[in-house]
Structure 1
Amino acid sequence: MKTIHKIFTVAILLFISGGTIVGCSSTKNNYTAATDVQEEFKMEKSGAQMWGEACNRCHLAPSPADYNDTDWSTISLHMRVRANLAENEIAKIETFLKSAN
């Protein structure tokens, strides 16, 4: 009966510890793997979403049809500086605006 009790106790300890009884290095590896999975499935915002969020922070966002491609290029350069947007963000916004006009 004591043997069954010991086996049961060990099984519970293994279950609680995640199936392994090792040092901190295992925890680091599991954390890194979890972070990699999160990065892999991270959803990126579309140009339309960024346009709605960034442009409406300070003013009413104009319709994509309000300007032509050349105007949007100039406006994008200006607003990148004014709105403190990253190059990849303004590129997505500009692509959306040009495709929608």
Structure 2
Amino acid sequence: MRKLFAAIVLATLAIGFVGASASADENPSPAEHRRLFREGAKLWPVYCNTCHNARPGSEKAPYEWDLIIMHMRTLGNLPAGDVRSLVEYLKSR
């Protein structure tokens, strides 16, 4: 039980640090947002559509998309640049 609790605490701290470091890039310029959105739309069928149906971005809160994509990045071994584009796409649909 202690190991499980320690793992949860460590994971929470790691998510907090990742979220804090990502907040600087959270608000891209409008031109950068459009570029990331278009790139994410092209990457969705490559990485995501093989297992997942398309969902509206409003189905999840922005922080939930961040957590989901972090989990899927690990499972799918996704490159960081592609992940950023996918997150912008998912949050903006």
1:65 shift after superposition: 2.3
Give the whole-Å Cα distance in 2 for the aligned partners of 1:53 and 1:89. 11
5+ long unaligned stretches in structure 2: 1-37
Structure whose alpha-carbon radius of gyration is higher: 1
* Residue number among 37, 42, 45 corresponding to 1:49 in the alignment: 42
- Give aligned pairs, total: 56
Superposed CA RMSD: 1.7
Q: Identity over aligned residues, as a percent?
A: 32
Aligned to 1:76: 69
Instruction: Provide the TM-score with structure 2 as the length reference.
Output: 0.52
**Which whole-Å CA distance do the structure 2 matches of 1:68 and 1:47 have between them?**
18
Instruction: Look up the SS of the partner of 2:69 in the other structure.
Output: helix
| Corresponding residue of 1:59 | 52
TM-superposed CA distance for 1:74, in Å, is: 0.3
Higher relative contact order (CA 8 A, sep 6+): 2
Question: Is the 8 Å Cα contact of residues 80 and 90 (structure 1) preserved in structure 2?
Answer: yes
Q: Which runs of 5+ in 1 are unaligned?
A: 1-44
Q: Does 1:88 align with 2:81?
A: yes
Structure 1 contact 52–61 (Cα < 8 Å) conserved: no
More helix as a share of residues: 2
| TM superposition outliers: structure 1 runs of 4+ over 4 Å | none
